[in-house]
Amino acid sequence: MDFLQLSYFQHVARLEHMTKAADELKISQPSLSQSIARLEDELGFPLFERSGRNIRLNESGKVFLGRVNKAFSELKEGKREAARKAGIVKQSISLGMIHLEEMPDFLGAYMSQTANTQVKLQYGCNKSMTNQLERGELDLFVCSPLVQHAGLQSVALHEEEIYLAVPPNHRLSGASQIRLEEVSNDPFIGLQEGSGLREASDEFCRIAGFKPDIALEIADPSRLQTLVQAGIGVALIPETLVKQLDGVKACGIVKITEPICKRTIGLTWEKETELPENVQLFKEYLLDYFASTKAAIE
């Protein structure tokens, strides 16, 4: 067996669906099936229960998956220790993040007070970042919503309100508050499917009794208000972006009274993995930073 086979196994075990795993890995489904079959032949026992096209991790597979995850984590930590022995004193932290406007503030403050630390920052949605955590490619992930996964630990950092942004000439541009159902027939500007904000926005609309008509789908939430200003549609934007608009007549910002529109920003890491000292310190810093920010607001 090799590392590639084991990585393939992690994907299939998480999704319990061969075709979806192949799509995610960008390989053909027959090639992935053959790789898993070779792994099972080498081990001498099946890892999955199969029923037609459906597969489910069996008890042996669950035990093996736990060991594989730990093995990848150990290899990552081994690389850190070997680098320190080789005299490479700069300690790295691999941080995954959703797009978050507070990032320059909390990261800048940390970097200014910490020597010999390199932060490798990656942006992505919950799905892609969770995958990287499982593979040991990330140390921490600033997420939204909180990640619900048996092998991962998530804690809430803070909660922020979601507002409706409307074009300057929109019928609701002068309103102070609305019910979300009032824009059920408007075109929406939304983030790509799979992002936490998109999932939250779709859920808010579902609760309000409609499915949003997505006229434009984008990847960068910081562009939402600019596109709203251009009159393309309305958009649900987080509180941090609203604060950036203070004093700027870019578009109308309206509070939503029904349903309650808020999202939780959280921090996620591997549950049964001992974090390196520098990563543990950074995790504690993030928890303290957001706790103090919340206290200052209150």
Distance CA 13, CA 62 (A): 8
- Residue 77 belongs to a domain: no
Helices 103-113 and 277-297 pack at an angle, to 10 degrees, of 130
Residue 75 in any domain: the answer is: no
Asked if 30 and 175 sit in the same domain, the reply is: no
* Residues facing residue 265 across a β-bridge: 158
211 and 258 share one domain: yes
Q: Within this chain, do residues 271 and 142 fall inside the same structural domain, yes or no?
A: yes
Is residue 78 domain-resident? no
Q: Looking at the structure, do residues 181 and 170 belong to the same domain, yes or no?
A: yes
Asked if 50 and 15 sit in the same domain, the reply is: yes
**Angle subtended by helix axes 59-85 and 3-15, to nearest 10:** 130
**Domain count within the chain:** 3
Q: Are residues 100 and 139 in the same domain?
A: yes
Do 123 and 181 fall within a single domain? no
Please indicate, yes or no, if residue 132 is contained in any of the structural domains: yes
- CA separation for the pair 2, 277 (Å, rounded): 30
Pair 253, 271 in one domain: no
pLDDT digits (tens, 9 = 90+) for 265-274: 999 998 877 7
Give the pLDDT of residue 204: 97
Specify whether 136 is located in the same domain as 269: yes
**For 205-264, how does the pLDDT look when each residue is reduced to its tens digit (9 = 90+)?**
999 999 999 999 998 888 898 899 999 999 999 988 886 555 455 789 999 999 999 999
Predicted TM-score (pTM) of the model is 0.70
Same domain flag for 121 and 186: no
Q: Are residues 274 and 230 in the same domain?
A: no
Identify the CATH number of the domain in which residue 42 sits.
1.10.10.10
* Mean pLDDT within 103-116: 83
Range of the domain at 48: 3-69
In-domain check, residue 79: no
Q: What CATH code is carried by the domain that includes residue 285?
A: 3.40.190.10
Extract the tokens encoding 230: 């251009």
Among 21, 38, 69, residue at a domain's last position: 69
Asked if the structure places residue 27 within a domain, the reply is yes
Q: What is the per-residue pLDDT for 87? A: 60
